[in-house]
Amino acid sequence: MEIAKLQTQTRFLVRQRLRLMVNQYEVHVEAPDGSEGPLVAFAQQKRMAFKEQVTLYSDDTKAHPLLGFKARKRIDLASAYDVTGADGQPIGVFRKDFKKSLLASTWHLEQPGMEVTTGSERNKFVAILRRVWNVIPYAENLPFAWPYHFDFRVGGQGAFSVEKKFGFRDRYVVDVKDPRLDRRLVIAQAIGLDALQSR
C-alpha cells in the first residue's frame, strides 16, 4: 500500500504468527465488517537479540522494506528505538519509561513537529497481574492470555489506542484518532508493545 493511502487508514489489526526462532507479525487494515482487510506490513524479529532490531516489509515475501526500528543501546531497559523509513530517513522515536513502567508499562512516542505522545496500560490491575504472571515458575514460557490495552495521549487528547484481544495468540486492534500521526510510527509502536513488552 502506498504511504499516502496508508496515512488515511484509522484502524489496523495486528496478529502474531507463531514461529520457532522468530516473532512474526502481520498488520492488516481493518475491513468495514471488522475482519482483516489488505495486508499492509509484515514484521520479523529475531528472538534473543541483544540489540533489538525489527524490519517491517510491505508483505510476507520480504521483498520490499517498509520501515524498521532499532534500539540505540544494547541491553538497556530504557533504550530508545529509532524508527526509519525504507529509505533510511528518520520517522520518529519510541522509548519505554522504565520508572513509570514498574507498575504499569508506559511508552513515549516522538514524531517531528508534534508534542510527545505518551501511552500507558489502561487497566492497572491487569498490569500488576501481568507482572505476577512473569515471576511464576514456568508461567513466563506461556503467553499472557488476558487482554491489556494501551491508550496514547498527546496534549491531553487521545492519539491512538492498542487493544489486545482475549486469547493465547497475540492479536491487537489499533485505533488511530490523531490524523497527524505517521501510521508507520504507530505500527512500529504497536509491534514494539508486544515484541519488547518483557524487556
Segment 70-91, tens digit of pLDDT? 988 866 666 799 999 999 999 9
Nearest C-alpha neighbor of 85 from the set 69, 96, 62, 61:
69
Map out the domains of the chain as residue ranges: 3-195
| Mean pLDDT within 34-40 | 93
Does the pLDDT value for residue 42 go beyond 70? yes
Residue 67 vs residue 126, higher pLDDT: 67
* pLDDT classification of 159: cutoffs 50, 70, 90: very high
Of the given ranges (16-25, 46-55, 113-122), which has the lowest mean pLDDT? 46-55
* pLDDT classification of 125: cutoffs 50, 70, 90: low
- 8 Å CB contact between 94 and 110: yes
- The residues pairing with 12 across neighbouring beta strands, listed in sequence order, are 29, 174
Query: What's the per-residue H, E or C state across 76-132?
Result: CCCCEEEEEECCCCEEEEEEECCCHHHCCCEEEEECCCCCCEEEEECCHHHHHHHHH
b/e code 165-179 from CB counts within 10 Å (16+ = b): eeeeebbbbbebebe
Of the given ranges (30-39, 135-144, 176-185), which has the lowest mean pLDDT? 135-144
Cα distance between residue 95 and residue 118, in whole Å:
10
Of the given ranges (32-41, 67-76, 164-173), which has the lowest mean pLDDT? 164-173
Tally of CB atoms within 10 A around 55:
16
Q: Is domain 3-195 classified as CATH 3.40.1710?
A: no
* pLDDT classification of 169: cutoffs 50, 70, 90: low
| Mean pLDDT within 40-62 | 81
* pLDDT classification of 199: cutoffs 50, 70, 90: very low
pLDDT of residue 99: 83
Cα distance between residue 133 and residue 122, in whole Å:
18
Pairing of strands 171-176, 65-71: unpaired
